[in-house]
Amino acid sequence: MFLITQKKHLLKNMVVVGCKLINYLTYSFRKFYHSAYVCHCEDFEEIRGNLTRFRLLSSDLIVKILRLHFVSLRMTTSGLLRPLLLFLIMLSLNITVEAKDVKYISLAPSLTEMVYSINAQDNLIAGVAWNRKLMKNKPVIGDAFFVNNEALVKYHPDIIFALEYQKTVIDGLKSTGIKIHYFSFKSINDIFNSIKTISNLTNHSKNGDLLILTLKRDINKYKAKSPKRILFVVQAEPLISAGKNSFINDIIKQSGHINILDNMNNDYPRINLEYVIKQNPDLIVVWDKQTKDYLKKFLRSKFVILEPADSDCINRPGPGVVNAVKFFANL
């Protein structure tokens, strides 16, 4: 009797230690997985597959260990203990059984990127034009400015993820019973809140929480050594820049610099050259050489032309915001 009790004790400790070890390794794999995605790693899909195989092999190993000990101990109550222990193991490995597979469509590249970044793309049934390498065989039903509503309805999604400005185009689809969630981005925190919402709706809340923690940690790594006064040019004629309530303004502030239009409440106010000349910014960030050549006639500030990769992460609020903050911090 004493020997059986000791063996039970040993088995319990082995299961607890084994589950904690697997949970820790799974967490480490997830951190690496999200970092690889944010850094646009070429082996993103391979990493995702390896993580899935690792978890399946780990759970299978624990089950085999349990079976071995159940047989050796000849437990008469094994019929009761097995389901309970297996349930606890499933919890420790974060293996969840969903009551229903929720199907969804994303109508913005920034939202699609969030879906992929939390590993929720399996139930993404369609989207707008974005990264074809990642989306592979996902049907495309439009782009950020045009959506084929007729094609959208035919896919019978449970949820649609869309941007606030798309409301006038697709809000009528609510009458079909489809749930529509709208998102807008005026700050970096809006990105975190959107990831949280999407991860909850797609049953990937833990992945979402981990991604948010990773992004916050990485963003805080980048700060300008000496703050500069910056003008970010959205459009040259008429001259439009990023105001206080814009996503770009928050990126500039987070990087440690100062937006010369931080005192203007509009998202993207129209301004005159006289105002810019008076403010005398240290740096002017523009989209292309044509804009630089035009403004250089009137301003003596240093100009920075955005590279395609930089303009993409600045223009698309999402997990790539880390690279946007890094870009400004290094100016």
3-class DSSP string for 194-218: HHHHHHHHCCCHHHHHHHHHHHHHH
Tell me the C-alpha to C-alpha distance, in Å, between residue 206 and each of 27, 143, 213. Answer: 10, 29, 11
Overall pTM surpassing 0.75 (yes/no): no
**What are the pLDDT digits (tens) for 140-192?**
888 767 888 888 999 999 999 999 999 988 988 988 899 999 999 999 999 99
Rounded to an integer, what distance in angstroms lies between the CA atom of residue 127 and that of residue 259?
34
Exposure of 77 by Cβ count < 10 A (0-12 exposed, 13-18 middle, 19+ buried)? exposed
Residue 306 per-residue DSSP state: P
- Per residue of the chain (331 residues), give pLDDT as tens: 544 555 455 555 555 555 555 555 555 555 554 445 444 444 444 555 555 555 555 555 555 555 554 444 444 445 555 555 555 555 555 544 444 589 999 999 999 999 999 999 999 999 987 776 777 789 988 876 788 888 899 999 999 999 999 998 898 898 889 999 999 999 999 999 999 999 999 999 999 999 999 999 999 999 999 999 999 999 998 999 999 999 999 999 999 999 999 999 889 999 999 999 999 999 999 999 999 999 999 999 999 999 988 988 998 899 999 999 999 999 9
Of 101, 290, 116, 298, the closest CA to residue 198 belongs to 116
CB-based contacts of 268: which residues, under 8 Å, 6+ apart?
Answer: 234, 240, 241, 242, 243, 246
SS3 content of the chain, % helix, strand, coil (to 5): 55, 10, 30
- Say which residues have a Cβ less than 8 Å from residue 313's Cβ, sequence separation at least 6: 320, 321, 323, 324, 327
Give the distance from CA 20 to its chain's centroid.
Answer: 27
Rg (CA), the chain: 26
Please write the tens of the pLDDT for every residue from 94-125: 544 444 589 999 999 999 999 999 999 999 99
In the block, residue with structure tokens 């793309």: 121
CB 270 within 8 A of CB 284: no
